[in-house]
A and B are shown apart, each in its own frame.
Chain A
Amino acid sequence: MCGAPAQSPTLPPHVDVTKETVIWGAVTKDGSPVPAAYVRLLDGNGDFTAEVVTSATGDFRFFAAPGEWTLSVMHKDGAVRQNVSASGPGLVEAQLAIA
């Protein structure tokens, strides 16, 4: 594991990124990845859409749709909320630093 952030998300086989809107990134604290953080995807009205737990390298990803979204992170060491906008299918990166 090197210090540089991943350049693309790890996706399951057969996922077509010309059709899927993938919101992805990593959760960090003071520059270090945070595993086992709970990341929520909220829709444009703030309603819960999905939740994932970050990997050993702090990574997360969602299969959403074009539109306005909010990411909300919960962890015993901190939290953060961040808005993200997806204009169309493809990869949308969001790096989340908890404090």
Chain B
Amino acid sequence: MSRADVLVSADWAEENLNTPGVVFVEVDEDTSAYDGGHIAGAVKLDWKTDLQDQVIRDFVSKEQFEQLLSAKGIGNDDTVVLYGGNNNWFAAYAYWYFKLYGHQDVKLLDGGRKKWELDGRELSKDTVTRPATTYTAQEPDNSIRAFRDEVIAAIGAQNLVDVRSPDEFSGKLLAPAHLPQEQSQRAGHIPTALNVPWAKLANEDGTFKADKDITAIYDEVGLDQSKDTIAYCRIGERSSHTWFALHELLGLPNVKNYDGSWTEYGSLVGVPIEKGA
């Protein structure tokens, strides 16, 4: 797999807006962003209502995912191009999620909404409807998803990468600073985790840095490539961005995203927590 297989530029996107078999999908934290203007022809996925079970904290089932994609008009053979706000955090989360359920051809739009807007490219408010499909998902691929017991077992044994900001890692903040800070979980990080904020991997316009620059960042902090790696953040979306860089761009094997992340870990009774940088 190469960078071109998983990441497309805004120019490529603009040239392929009407290409049959290419479906643009917007996924945002701010789920109203799409309604204010989206890439022409793009459908919207709501990460909270479409991709999360509405009762327990978990993903939607394989059957629900099939129903969702069928209703959105996405077919098994379509090339799905994901983009969104927040430097593609939630689009990267959706990318990982599509991979978890076995979609073959998924790509991220490099830079997401921000790059598109900063370039002054066109956004549309037209309603988008696509004919329904009959989508078939695969069983979840848990080789890319970490659960809490594996995370605890990885302390001091495998690579743990905390991709939150340095202030969240140290315990000064409990959430990214666009959100209120009063939270119920404890502050700090998982012992032995390396702090490599997701933002280090991206340029200011939201595009990914070159592979060699990303490799240099992990070499500098001493990521041991002979070990397995688990990435985490607060709720699993920024760590999807890092999972994408490590697993899809650099092609490292055995990289998992811990979607339980700090909201789960920081609420567990009795697990070790480190504070400070």
Contact = CB atoms under 8 A, between A and B. Distances in A.
Interface stretch (B60-68, B135-143, B176-184): B176-184
A93 interface: no
Q: How large is the interface on A (under 10, 10 to 19, 20 to 34, 35 or more residues)?
A: 20 to 34
B175 to A, nearest CB: 7
A49 B180 contact: no
A36 B117 contact: yes
Contacts of A49: 165, 167, 173, 176-177
Contacts of A75: 118
A48 B182 contact: no
Interface string B176-214: 111111100000000000000101000011000000000
Interface string B91-128: 00000000000000000000000100111100000000
Nearest to B205: A74
A82 to B, nearest CB: 16
Contacts of A64: 173, 177
B87 A51 contact: yes
A50 B234 CA distance: 13
Given A47-B197, A76-B120, A62 B114 contact: no
Contacts of B148: none
A75 B181 CA distance: 27
A97 interface: no
A26 B157 CA distance: 47
Contact of B181 (A20, A45, A48, A53): A20
Interface in A48-79: 48-53, 61-65, 67, 74-76
A15 B177 contact: no
Given A19-B182, A20-B181, A43-B165, A48 B197 contact: yes
Contact of B114 (A15, A21, A38): A38
B236 interface: no
A12 interface: yes
Contacts of A65: 167, 172-173, 181
B166 interface: yes
B119 A76 contact: yes
Contacts of B197: 47-48
Given A49-B177, A63-B178, 13 more contacts: A15-B180, A19-B182, A20-B180, A38-B114, A40-B204, A43-B165, A47-B199, A49-B176, A50-B178, A63-B175, A63-B179, A64-B173, A76-B118
